[in-house]
Amino acid sequence: MHKPNQFDLFASRRFLPLFVTQFFGAFNDNLFKNAFLVLITFYGLSTAGLDAKTLVNAAAGIFILPFFLFSALAGQLAEKYDKARLAQWIKLLEIGIMLLAGLGFYQKNATVLFVCLFLMGVHSTLFGPLKYSVLPQYLKEEELLGGNGLIEAGTFIAILVGQIAGTLIVQHQPHGETLIIYACVGVAVLGFLSSRAMPRAAPPAPDLKINWNILGETWHIIRHVSHNRTVFHSLMGISWFWFFGSVYLTQLPDLSRNVLNGDPGVYTLLITLFSAGVGLGSTLCERLSGRRVELGLVPFGSIGMSVFGTDLYFALNAAPAAAHYDAWGFIADPAHWRVMFDIAAMGAFGGLFIVPLYALVQTRTEKAFVSRAIAANNILNSLFMVVAALMSIALLKAGLTVPGLLLTVALMNIAVALYIYTLIPEFLMRFLVWIGVHTLYRVRCEGLEHIPEEGPCVLVCNHVSFMDALILAGMIRRPIRFVMDHRIFKVPVLNFIFRTAGAIPIAPAREDAALKDRAFDRVAEYLEAGEVVCIFPEGAITRDGEIKTFRPGIEDIVRRTPVPVIPLALRGLWGSFFSRKDGAAMMKLPRRIWSKIGLVAGAPVPAAQADRDLLEQQVRALRGDWR
């Protein structure tokens, strides 16, 4: 039987035309831009008497400047008009820009090409909010992470192929400038044709009045999105990724030529490795997260970006400097393998970092504001990238080497990551949960579709080990508020996770009646707010592997706040390092790592029928004989 996966989306008209349209757009951006940069770096094209290094960094700033200027307008247009029709208008604009660029290539006029570079930035600015905000309209929620991963992978593959094609076509002298004209215009036409196949996407705010005050609307959008703390800091994380990536991508031509002594083919190879890495990391997100928006991948990605970014500095210093290399000669020299691996690994971890953040913004922003939230993201992205370009120019002018600049950004990534995770501990908490659960266990889940996508409910589960709450938190998509024994709540490291997740410590009435009363009050507050609460009705971890009699607390909860109750059963944890088999937990050597365990959910039980005896029977039936 075929198991659904993200690649099934390529067979759907809900996704394929959008993917192809954005692919050709990103491809053409980089086909044109890279052809222009190669002419500057390797063939002496210049303007205003500026040197190649300054022009390359200036080109990066000019391309992303429109994102800062026009993203607010782009977000409004994507909310007001049908997104498929808007995509067609934008693709017609691209054809016009490429015709003008053809004139610039024909005349070898750098000034005209800089104008076209700015206009292609305008084209991408208009398409960006549309591309990401239409995904929640086209896709189901369980398809969203995979769809984002494919879009992100497709974007970087398009960047890769566009840059390779731009380099190879321009190198085909003396006719390179003529060939690139046909290529750019042809790709623009293909993008327009694919946009015509996009399904209609009804505007979420058709009565929206366009605010043409660019600065005023920009401030309004950023202020609005900043009220949602998690979304705003996710946008900051995405923008930091583009700061990080733009520095690396912009310096690769100089790195290839002057540090690694390579020809344009070596530059093409390095950009291939980085882009392919991002594509690989982006597509792995769905597999690693089980088709859920898994925030734990974000810290994992940031750690990898810094580790391999730092190692790249030492690899560059160890690289030979005597010979001049083409691409095949560069690959053949083992001294370069570490450089190639570091660049590919940075890209892969970057994909793991950014895809969950995009999906988080799409799912936690109100539907009528998604396009403008993406516009706010583009505004912040452009600001960060302009700062990256200016910082790079200033540091290089001050005498810092290109490897030194790349090391500086890798170390800055550590500081930025720590700052973000201090502001939003949920990212770090999810990372610890994800690492812990996926390192120790292979979890087979059944019936989790019984847990409602929204609205309050109570989960009841057997209690086998100290890891039970983390396993449930790692496997269930919605945030869960756990009611747990106050002694487990205080376990070091786990306490950070439980506090961040809003867990509720509880004690028996005979031990601390006031704590018990406060716990039930907090449970009622969470349920009235539409959240998910989980309780282990046995009251303690089993000491013999058997399910104990459920206590009446669950009945008190649903009597006070009538909500559905979903029975759950954990399988295969008895005898593990964190269970109490053969004495106290965590006092014996682990039997094995990556054990196979199970999590099964049953059908919801209405509040009126949710007595403890019935729920205990259902949990026993779900667990079966597999303890």
Per-residue model confidence as pLDDT tens digits over 602-611: 999 998 888 8
Amino acid identity of residue 353, one-letter, is F
In the predicted structure, residue 264 carries a pLDDT above the cut 80: no
- The candidate with the shortest Cα–Cα distance to 292, out of 480, 500, 456, is 480
**β-pairing, 457-461 with 532-535?**
parallel
In the predicted structure, residue 95 carries a pLDDT above the cut 90: yes
Q: What b/e readout covers 55-94, taking b as 16+ CB neighbours within 10 angstroms?
A: bbbbbbbbbbbbbbbbbbbbbbbbbbbbbbebbbebbebb
Sheet holding 532-535, edge to edge: 441-446, 595-601, 565-571, 457-461, 532-535, 480-485, 504-506
- The candidate with the shortest Cα–Cα distance to 242, out of 152, 127, 331, 150, is 152
Residue 561: CB atoms within 10 Å: 18
Higher pLDDT, 6 or 166: 166
CA dihedral over 82, 88, 90, 93, signed as positive or negative:
negative
List, in sequence order, every beta strand (DSSP E) within 486-619.
504-506, 532-535, 565-571, 595-601
CA dihedral over 584, 587, 592, 594, signed as positive or negative:
positive
For residue 274, the SS3 value is helix
For residue 6, the SS3 value is helix
Cis peptide before 174 (omega within 30 of 0): yes
Q: Are 281 and 350 within 8 A, CB to CB?
A: yes
Q: pLDDT tens for residues 137-185?
A: 888 777 777 777 788 778 878 887 887 888 788 776 666 677 888 898 9
- Residue 426's pLDDT is 66
- The candidate with the shortest Cα–Cα distance to 356, out of 281, 416, 306, is 281
- The candidate with the shortest Cα–Cα distance to 554, out of 462, 437, 445, is 462
- Residue 527's pLDDT is 92
Among the ranges given (99-103, 362-366, 426-430), the one the predictor scored with the smallest mean pLDDT: 426-430
- Residue 227's pLDDT is 79
Gap between the Cα atoms of 76 and 374, Å rounded: 11
- The candidate with the shortest Cα–Cα distance to 356, out of 268, 292, 401, is 292
In the predicted structure, residue 248 carries a pLDDT above the cut 90: no
- Residue 186's pLDDT is 93
Output DSSP code: residue 262.
B
In the predicted structure, residue 3 carries a pLDDT above the cut 70: no
Q: What is the mean pLDDT of the chain?
A: 81
* Predicted TM-score of the model (pTM): 0.67
Dihedral angle computed from the Cα positions of residues 453, 459, 462 and 465, in that order, rounded to the nearest 10 degrees: 70
- Residue 579's pLDDT is 74
Q: Return the bridge partners of 534, or none.
A: 459, 482
In the predicted structure, residue 477 carries a pLDDT above the cut 80: no
**β-pairing, 532-535 with 504-506?**
unpaired
Gap between the Cα atoms of 218 and 237, Å rounded: 19
For range 299-303, the mean pLDDT: 81
For residue 456, the SS3 value is coil
Gap between the Cα atoms of 11 and 330, Å rounded: 39
Degrees, nearest 5: CA angle 259-260-265: 125
For residue 570, the SS3 value is strand
In the predicted structure, residue 413 carries a pLDDT above the cut 70: yes
For residue 480, the SS3 value is strand
